[in-house]
A and B are shown apart, each in its own frame.
Chain A
Amino acid sequence: MAFKTLKTLMLGGVIATASVAGIAYAAGGGPVGDYKMKYVDWSFNGAFGQYDRAAMQRGYQVYREVCAACHGLKYVAFRHLGDEDGPYYLDDFPNPNDNPYVKNFAADWTIEDIDSETGDTIDRSGIPADYFPPIFPNDAAARASNGGALPPDLSSMVKARTGGADYVYNLLIAYDVPKPDEVELTPGLYWNPVMEGGKIAMPPQLSEGLVDYEPTEIIDHGESKMVDAPEATVEQMAYDVTQFLAWTADPKLEQRKSIGIMTLVYLLILSALLFASYKRVWRNVEH
């Protein structure tokens, strides 16, 4: 009897959650025409998923050299790059503000500030505590430089689109799909079947060999390791920058998943113990 009711309960729970999730997913869109989404087996998928450190580092390079011409990253600070789940974490520098990579990257950027002596507006080089600065002084300036379109901030982009990382990756590689003849494009718009409606204001960005990849240093099980630079193909750059943007959108993913597995195991054991207690307390009671 108890097992029967338990089964009913489980079944009810599964059906209810599945329907709820199904309804939530049903609301999403998809690519235009007959474009087939390429689904990548991302390293950060699954219960034990983790970001690919070397790809994230190359992805940062792609962001800095390509995307950052137009797109901001306003909710990310330079110090985040050296956080424990971040692309440039080093064991010797638990405080990311001391991390030499972070310091160098911050110094690459110019930050607008106020001189505390004179009150004048000055430009200084960035420090780890700074956030990625805005690319344009304001939205109107951003539109003026981009044919009226506003390049969105990329901090949470991977979470802000249905399809997540696969969406961003496919959007970047789908520019070479030929435009159907019946589609008319006004100047300043480009054909991209992954974009909702198929029309996008962003011109194609990635081309073979656009970025000079260099070997990257990563920390693997506490040991420093050099990873060879791959060929800078469009797919490789799209993959790398998607890894980086997946991290900027969800910087606590690794912590979340490792705590998650422990929590689920704990709750499983707790459920088993409580079920045993239940059987024992009720053992002489017919019900």
Chain B
Amino acid sequence: MSGHPSTYEPKYAASKWLDQRLPIVRMGADFMTFPSPRNLNYWYTFGGILALCLVVQIISGVILAMHYVADVDGAFASVQRIRRDVPFGWLLQSMHAVGASMFFLAVYMHMFRGLYYGSYKAPREVLWIIGCLIYLVMMATAFLGYTLPWGQMSFWGATVITGFFGAVPVVGEALQQWLLGGYAVDNATLTRFFALHYLLPFVIAALVGLHVWALHHVGQNNPIGITEKTKSDTLSFHPFYTVKDAFAIAVFLFIFAFFLFYLPDALGHADNYIEADAMKTPAHIVPEWYFLPFYAILRAVPSKLFGILLMLGAIVVLFVLPWLDTHKVRSMRFRPVARWFFLIFIVMCFILGWCGAGVPDDIAIPLGKDAGITFYRLGQAATLYYFAYFLVILPVLGLIEKPVKRPDSITKAVLGDQKRGAGLLPAE
């Protein structure tokens, strides 16, 4: 795959024969011995966790599809049947629903990790962009999937989101009808959403393949952001990172299982246990928690079209981030100013999520009697910071920020100057 020399030696005649024709075993062996920076911390375990999430969603989803009925008259009842009568259907259905939340939890950790350690900088721009694409397709898949149980939030969420397309000038209405297959969310919408919800995970799987390929071509970034120089800077992927990833996965699965078995509905909305009713609008239509920050950005301006452009912009800006952050130092460990702005950025993302869940005119932060900052104003401030972080703060810091002294290499960062040479080689 990458530049590292292959160490695979076929032992048997059959494996030699195969290796000359399709070196697939060699590819797997080289994958397992891939030299990884020796200083990767737990934030680097989310890649493996995400691969597991995708597998869990695909397997549970394929089995659910065997029992699901994609029809407006039967969809809600079929989910009830899955939860009540299909053996362990309750487990599969909860696993798929809670699994979506866990998938997003992990992807946000993974993305924040990349933002902090500068994993998007040269030569990893394409790796980062593929990652952004995966995130975009994930969002589409999650939205389509949330429609399928045909509860009240499913229906009204789909109505609101597809309504955005109607705000596009000139072609908006035609575009919206083309997407829905009619004038409103109905059977044609449900069946196409189901078809696409089944298709997109495999698109994600293909993109993950490209993501991992790009990763192995340029090598992993690491917490100090300094490229590995010598052999002592790296460790073989197996057993060092397989065991570390496995431990992190087990801890992650513990959190997953806790939600799955004890709080299966905590991340969902009660209204989705009511069958979709086109004549009855819920009091508050809110998206799933993982879309709330974007929902707050959408509502930050009074104009519908401008709101949609802002929301799209919030994602597009991630794609061009490698060219917005021009600072030559990757890791924010050595950027004393940027790290504080990054910390505020994370706080702002949470505030955006909070504003997305709130009613815009309600008071978020009370200041005296019947006065205070509304969710609307707070959301505006956080939206402003979100964009300023990418479009102003990072480009300006790229020009003026002085990094602190960095170690010469990963080995020196790990061992310090005095102990050079000690403990360089791994066990066995």
Residues of A within 8 A of B (CB): 5-6, 8-10, 12-13, 16-17, 19-21, 23-29, 47, 75-76, 80, 152, 155-156, 159-162, 164, 196, 249, 251-252, 255-257, 259-261, 263-264, 267-268, 270-271, 274-275, 277-278, 281-287
Known contacts A26-B354, A257-B261, A287-B39: A156-B426 contact under CB 8 Å: no
Pick from A17, A80, A264: contact of B261, CB under 8 Å = A264
In this complex, what residue of A is CB-closest to B253?
Answer: A267
A29, B270: Cα distance in complex, Å: 11
Q: Does B365 interact with chain A (Cβ within 8 Å)?
A: no
Chain B interface extent, by class: 35 or more
Given contacts A12-B109, A24-B357, 4 further A-B contacts (CB under 8 A): A6-B42, A16-B105, A256-B94, A267-B257
A153 to chain B, nearest CB (A): 8
A196, B265: Cα distance in complex, Å: 20
A176 to chain B, nearest CB (A): 26
Pick from B251, B264, B274, B354: contact of A23, CB under 8 Å = B354
In this complex, what residue of A is CB-closest to B284?
Answer: A27
Residues of B within 8 A of A (CB): 38-39, 41-42, 77, 80-81, 83-84, 90-91, 94, 101, 105, 108-109, 235, 239-240, 243-244, 246-248, 250-255, 257-271, 273-274, 283-284, 286, 289, 292, 350, 353-354, 356-358, 414-415, 419, 422-423, 425-427
In this complex, what residue of A is CB-closest to B354?
Answer: A23
The reply to whether B273 and A27 contact each other, CB–CB distance below 8 Å, is no
| Dominant secondary structure of chain A at its interface with chain B | helix
The reply to whether A275 and B261 contact each other, CB–CB distance below 8 Å, is no
In this complex, what residue of A is CB-closest to B353?
Answer: A23
Count CB-based A-B contacts (< 8 Å).
149
Q: List 15 A-B contacts (CB under 8 A).
A: A13-B251, A16-B105, A17-B105, A17-B259, A23-B353, A23-B356, A24-B267, A24-B269, A47-B262, A156-B273, A160-B270, A256-B91, A284-B426, A285-B38, A285-B240
The reply to whether B273 and A160 contact each other, CB–CB distance below 8 Å, is yes
The reply to whether B262 and A260 contact each other, CB–CB distance below 8 Å, is yes
**Residues of B close to A159: CB separation below 8 A:** 265, 270, 273
Known contacts A160-B270, A281-B427: A256-B42 contact under CB 8 Å: no
In this complex, what residue of A is CB-closest to B288?
Answer: A24
Pick from A5, A12, A281: contact of B239, CB under 8 Å = A281
A160, B246: Cα distance in complex, Å: 38
A274, B254: Cα distance in complex, Å: 13
Known contacts A23-B292, A259-B261, A260-B262: A75-B77 contact under CB 8 Å: yes
The reply to whether A9 and B38 contact each other, CB–CB distance below 8 Å, is no
**Residues of A close to B39: CB separation below 8 A:** 287
In this complex, what residue of A is CB-closest to B419?
Answer: A286
A274, B249: Cα distance in complex, Å: 10
A97 to chain B, nearest CB (A): 14
The reply to whether A21 and B427 contact each other, CB–CB distance below 8 Å, is no
The reply to whether B255 and A274 contact each other, CB–CB distance below 8 Å, is no
The reply to whether A287 and B353 contact each other, CB–CB distance below 8 Å, is no
A25, B270: Cα distance in complex, Å: 10
A26, B258: Cα distance in complex, Å: 20
**Residues of B close to A256: CB separation below 8 A:** 90-91, 94, 261, 264
The reply to whether B105 and A287 contact each other, CB–CB distance below 8 Å, is no
Pick from A12, A162, A282: contact of B240, CB under 8 Å = A282
A162, B269: Cα distance in complex, Å: 8
In this complex, what residue of A is CB-closest to B37?
Answer: A287
The reply to whether B105 and A286 contact each other, CB–CB distance below 8 Å, is no
B91 to chain A, nearest CB (A): 7
The reply to whether A23 and B357 contact each other, CB–CB distance below 8 Å, is yes
The reply to whether A10 and B251 contact each other, CB–CB distance below 8 Å, is yes
A23, B101: Cα distance in complex, Å: 13
Known contacts A264-B257, A286-B423: A196-B243 contact under CB 8 Å: no
The reply to whether B258 and A278 contact each other, CB–CB distance below 8 Å, is no
The reply to whether B254 and A26 contact each other, CB–CB distance below 8 Å, is no
Pick from B84, B257, B415: contact of A80, CB under 8 Å = B84
The reply to whether B90 and A160 contact each other, CB–CB distance below 8 Å, is no
Top-5 shortest CB links A-B: A260-B261, A160-B273, A274-B247, A284-B427, A271-B250
Pick from B83, B250, B264, B353: contact of A270, CB under 8 Å = B250
A29, B358: Cα distance in complex, Å: 11
Looking at A24, A29, A283, A286, which has the most chain B CB atoms within 10 Å of its CB? A24
B333 to chain A, nearest CB (A): 14
Pick from B235, B263, B270: contact of A162, CB under 8 Å = B270
Pick from B251, B284, B425: contact of A9, CB under 8 Å = B251
